């Protein structure tokens, strides 16, 4: 019996020690005084199966002014369409979003400016060939493997002349 009593006393001592250690943990894990802080977490990923539509930009576009400098367009003399190839293995809708502003412009260059995109496409391999359409008007790609070359035009208009300087804008080709 003495062995059992000794074992019970050791067990009680161990349990009391564990209880005191656990009771002290909140103070160690969650200090009473907290100071604000922040951290940055970067995320990345790659979805192999669902990543079945790829857009490869072939050539950037160029916008140039009209004679009274109230329009900058890839369709004006000296302008050039942007080109992208779309590789797809499923039936996706493609469209081109118009920018909301110039990413680079001289002072006052973004004021009262409206942007418009149009695009057309040609089949390179079982893709779609389609005539010019508004950027937000989607075109459905063929189901199965296809390659479609897309030609994008950008136009920026304003009621008064654009200030002198360099302008850059970004039109986004979407495959959804």
pLDDT digits (tens, 9 = 90+) for 154-169: 999 999 999 999 999 9
- The pLDDT value recorded for residue 2 is 53
Beta strands per DSSP E along the chain: 53-59, 64-65, 71-73, 82-88, 93-97, 114-125, 130-134, 139-140, 146-157, 172-175
Q: What token pair was written down for 47?
A: 């979805």
**What does each of the 176 residues of the chain score in pLDDT, given as a tens digit?**
555 544 445 445 444 544 444 444 444 444 444 444 445 455 555 444 456 888 889 989 999 999 999 999 999 999 999 999 999 998 899 999 999 999 999 999 999 999 999 999 999 999 999 999 999 999 999 989 999 999 999 999 999 999 999 999 999 999 88
Kindly report the average pLDDT of the chain as a whole number: 80
- The pLDDT value recorded for residue 34 is 44
Structural domains of the chain in order of their starting residue, each with its CATH number: 57-175 (2.60.40)
- The pLDDT value recorded for residue 48 is 46
Closest residue by Cα to residue 88 from 150, 143, 152: 143
State CA 27 to chain mean position distance. Answer: 43
């Amino acid at each position: 019996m003495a062995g059992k009593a000794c074992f019970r006393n050791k067990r009680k001592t161990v349990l009391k020690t564990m209880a005191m250690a656990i009771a002290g943990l909140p103070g160690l894990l969650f200090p009473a005084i907290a100071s604000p802080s922040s951290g940055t977490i970067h995320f990345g990923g790659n979805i192999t199966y669902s990543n079945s539509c790829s857009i490869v930009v072939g050539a950037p576009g160029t916008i140039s002014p009209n004679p009274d400098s109230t329009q900058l367009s890839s369709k004006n003399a000296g302008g050039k369409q942007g080109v992208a190839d779309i590789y797809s293995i499923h039936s996706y809708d493609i469209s081109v979003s118009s920018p909301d502003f110039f990413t680079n412009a001289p002072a006052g260059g973004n004021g009262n400016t409206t942007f418009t995109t149009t695009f057309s496409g040609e089949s390179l391999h079982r893709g779609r060939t389609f005539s010019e359409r508004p950027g937000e008007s989607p075109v459905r790609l063929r189901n199965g493997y296809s390659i479609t070359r897309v030609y994008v035009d950008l136009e920026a208009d304003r009621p008064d002349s654009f200030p002198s300087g360099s302008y850059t804008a970004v039109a986004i080709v979407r495959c959804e």
